[in-house]
Amino acid sequence: MTKDQFEKPLDPEFPLHDDSLTVQGAPARHNEYGAIMAPIFLSTTYRLEDINQAGPYEYIRTQNPTRQKAEDAVARLDHADHALGFASGMAAIATVFEHFHPGDHILSSANIYGGTYRFFLDILGPRKVDYDFITDLSTLSDADFKPNTKAVFLETPANPTLRVYDIAKIAELAHRHGALLIVDNTFMTGYLQKPLALGADVTVYSATKFYGGHADLNAGFITLNDTDLYNEFFFYQNTLGATLSPFDSYTLLRGIRTLAIRLDRQQENVKAVIGALEKHPAVSQVLYPGWYSPDEAVIQKKQAKGLGAVISFAVKPGVDLGVFFEKLQMIDLAVSLGGVESLVCRPTTMTHAPYPKDKLKEIGVRDNLVRFAVGIENKDDIIYDLSQALTIAQESDEVLDKKVDIQ
Ligand SMILES: *Cc1c(COP(=O)(O)O)cnc(C)c1O
């Protein structure tokens, strides 16, 4: 729903810092009882004052006061005019893709969330929406655009390679060709990076990750400033119906309040973990925003407030990842990220399973790559757990090698 329609705008003379906005982005002081936490409005329908005029709320799928609060909180953190809340990140992404018609062309980074990649292959393709995957978006140029190119889609930092792409530069290029720039900002959140302020037209989120923050919420958001486009997406949201439920809106509001302190702590942990992994003899490479080149490190510094809380690392040949995952004592093997707990996964067989093998190789994702979503636990415990499991995984292979030698 459009921000400020039912809420007092925050005083422009008192622009809150982002860490205050995560807490105060959807203040509860305008509700009838002065409750500090937004109430959950479960009512599916609202009484109308007369037969010709609807009130601000009419029917749950169309508008809901708790969802409105959640949308306000996400919009405010992005400094966006509008936000829309959905039942999942994929529902938000699918709604944005409703904008495109047969004959349109989309340029997408090849390095995106597996579910979005599958959406291109199995939904947009059969719908005759044309697309090209760009292996390295930093090479994007005028020559990639076609007369029917309607949008560029990207994630930065990319998942799971942590490559960084220049949002402002790509926005400028897209706009020169009359195309929209759509950014999936799930990995950074509005706390660390604001794509709309950098020139993007539409931001999408899986709020299942950092906004929820506790691995107990499935939610997605679109944020944008263009009112016509907002009205179009609002129409799709209401017509397709994959809206964020009142209870999940409440969970979102509860989660987003601690987004800043969670990310601050996670980023502290990330720095320590990078240092420890780089020194570990079982690890061949550590991937984090900026690892790829000094240029990308500069771009990350320019467009974001930190590294975020997801890194990846490659293990040396012979290190048995099966043993590594099995020997972890605290950290769990699971997909997803952005919660308070540390999680590891292997993208090739898990999050990026929808990708063809050769495409994964092309973007640099191999079977020896581990994605690590760093939690808020004590950093010494995280490092101890990783190190001991890596050491056993490496030694188990040495034993195996020796056996082979004896034979
Ligand atoms: C998880 C994720 C999605 C999909 O979100 P859901 O909430 O699981 O539907 C989209 N993009 C990125 C980058 C993700 O990590």
What local confidence, expressed as pLDDT, does residue 6 receive?
Answer: 43
Which mutation among 183, 206, 210, 335 tests ligand 1's pocket best, with the greatest number of atoms within 8 A of CB?
206
> Hey, what CATH topology would domain 260-406 get?
Aspartate Aminotransferase, domain 1 (3.90.1150)
What local confidence, expressed as pLDDT, does residue 7 receive?
Answer: 52
Q: What is the mean predicted confidence (pLDDT) over 255-265? A: 98
Helix (H) or strand (E) holding 85: strand 82-86
What local confidence, expressed as pLDDT, does residue 165 receive?
Answer: 98
What local confidence, expressed as pLDDT, does residue 35 receive?
Answer: 81
Average pLDDT over the chain reads: 92
Q: Could you tell me what percent of the chain has a pLDDT over 70?
A: 94
What local confidence, expressed as pLDDT, does residue 400 receive?
Answer: 52
Residue 1 pLDDT > 50, yes or no?
no
In words, the CATH class of domain 6-256 is alpha beta
What local confidence, expressed as pLDDT, does residue 405 receive?
Answer: 44
pLDDT band at residue 9 using 50, 70 and 90 as cut-offs: low
What local confidence, expressed as pLDDT, does residue 38 receive?
Answer: 84
| CB of 95 sitting under 6 A from ligand 1 | no
Are 391 and 329 in contact by the 8 Å Cβ rule? The answer is no
Span 378-388, pLDDT tens digits: 999 999 999 99
Q: What is the mean predicted confidence (pLDDT) over 281-300? A: 97
Cα dist from 176 to 132, 146, 226, 391, whole Å: 18, 12, 17, 52
Q: Which of 1-15, 96-110, 280-294 has the lowest mean pLDDT?
A: 1-15
What local confidence, expressed as pLDDT, does residue 354 receive?
Answer: 84
| CB of 209 sitting under 6 A from ligand 1 | yes
Which ligand 1 atom is the nearest neighbour of the CA of 159? 13
Q: Nearest C-alpha to atom 5 of ligand 1 is from which residue?
A: 89
Domain ranges for the chain, please list them.
6-256, 260-406
Q: Which of 13-22, 219-228, 306-315 has the lowest mean pLDDT?
A: 13-22
What local confidence, expressed as pLDDT, does residue 5 receive?
Answer: 43
What local confidence, expressed as pLDDT, does residue 138 receive?
Answer: 95
Q: Could you tell me what percent of the chain has a pLDDT over 90?
A: 82
Residue 312 pLDDT > 80, yes or no?
yes
What local confidence, expressed as pLDDT, does residue 211 receive?
Answer: 98
54 C-alpha vs ligand 1 centroid, how far in Å?
A: 35
Q: Which residue has the higher pLDDT, 356 or 222?
A: 222
| CB of 155 sitting under 6 A from ligand 1 | yes
Coil, helix or strand at residue 356: coil
What local confidence, expressed as pLDDT, does residue 4 receive?
Answer: 41
31 C-alpha vs ligand 1 centroid, how far in Å?
A: 32
52 C-alpha vs ligand 1 centroid, how far in Å?
A: 41
Partners of 202 in the beta sheet? 182, 224
| CB of 203 sitting under 6 A from ligand 1 | no
| CB of 252 sitting under 6 A from ligand 1 | no
Catalytic residue positions?
Answer: 61, 113, 184, 209
DSSP codes joined into one string, 165-234: --HHHHHHHHHHTT-EEEEE-TTTHHHH--TTTTT-SEEEEETTTTTT-SS----EEEEES-HHHHHHHH
Are 260 and 191 in contact by the 8 Å Cβ rule? The answer is yes
